[in-house]
Amino acid sequence: MRIRTLAAGLLAGGLLLTACGKEGTPTGSGGESANNAAVPTYEVAKDVKLDGSPVFTKIKSAGSITVGVKDDQPGLGQKDPKTGKFEGFDIEIARMVAAGLGISEDKIKYTTVDSGAREQAISNGQVDYYVGTYTISDKRKKLVSFAGPYFQAGQDLLVRKDDNSITGPESLKGKKVCSVTGSTPIQRVREQGLTEPGNIVEFQKYSQCVEKLTTKDVDAVTTDDAILKGYAAQDKDALRVVGKTFSKEPYGIGLNKDDKVLRDKIDDLLQAALDNGTWQKIYDATLGKSGASATKPTIERY
């Protein structure tokens, strides 16, 4: 229900802006604007060879790819309950990469993996790669590897609209703060003692935290601004993002630690998408629909 509301809201917003921006021009008569942009189509590469990549060898023999994603993060990775289709910025990045590896859309299997289960799902081969608001960190690099970054977010706070007492991370003492198991934001809340240990509430999914915020069982949800903005847009009358980020969360594509050949290839695909306008098109058709803009990330090869 909420998902539909968001989609309708985004659509209405897009139409409204289009109408304002082009006075006298009938809608749909040409000229793509950021707000009615459609996701691009990706050319499926032919005869891809990646000697020395165990994961790619497995993909080749299966003829399909299993991608780990999120299913409850609007604008990023979300499963439409009606159609069962996945959509969002992360999903498009996953599709673009699959096409670059020679795998067509109908051969992509999406598997939901929540934050706390990512390293295990990647290293035990349950997913071939993972695209889901996954921050590149040194700690995680001990278990998995990362292509990218393909986006940069920052930790922020989601609160009830009528609550003016929370103005940033320094105002969380005595407040109930919700985040997700195995995420960098919950780790930061703990390490920096932003609230008392007894006030930290933990779930598997951010949507569960948002539910608790609405029912006043918690006072704030903390994670990346990109994620929180999606929830706020679904419930504009009740929720708001504080808007003061207090960390850097560069998003990487999670990969098997030992597969440098695949990592280098995916870095090449991301670089090409950044250079040829595909990345921008993906952004405009997903996260950028709210009117936000983003700086392109710089791929860090290692």
Task: Considering the complex, state which of residue 102 and residue 132 has its C-beta at the smaller distance from ligand GLU.
Answer: 132
Task: Considering the complex, state which of residue 42 and residue 206 has its C-beta at the smaller distance from ligand GLU.
Answer: 206
Residue 225 binds to ligand GLU (criterion: CB under 6 A): no
SS3 state of residue 148: strand
Closest separation between CB of residue 113 and ligand GLU, Å? 10
Closest separation between CB of residue 157 and ligand GLU, Å? 13
Among 97, 180, 253, 282, binds ligand GLU (CB under 6 A): 180
Task: Considering the complex, state which of residue 133 and residue 195 has its C-beta at the smaller distance from ligand GLU.
Answer: 133
E-assigned strand segments in the chain: 65-69, 72-73, 77-79, 86-87, 108-112, 129-130, 144-153, 155-160, 177-180, 200-203, 220-224, 239-241, 249-256
Cα–Cα distances in angstroms (integers) from residue 165 to residues 34, 158, 168, 278, in the given order:
35, 12, 9, 41
Closest separation between CB of residue 224 and ligand GLU, Å? 5
Residue 224 binds to ligand GLU (criterion: CB under 6 A): yes
Among 53, 223, 256, 278, binds ligand GLU (CB under 6 A): 223
CA 256 – CA 2 distance, rounded (Å): 35
Residue type, 196: E
CA 107 – CA 94 distance, rounded (Å): 12
Candidate ranges 7-15, 26-34, 126-134, 229-237; the one touching ligand GLU (CB under 6 A): 126-134
Task: Considering the complex, state which of residue 87 and residue 249 has its C-beta at the smaller distance from ligand GLU.
Answer: 249
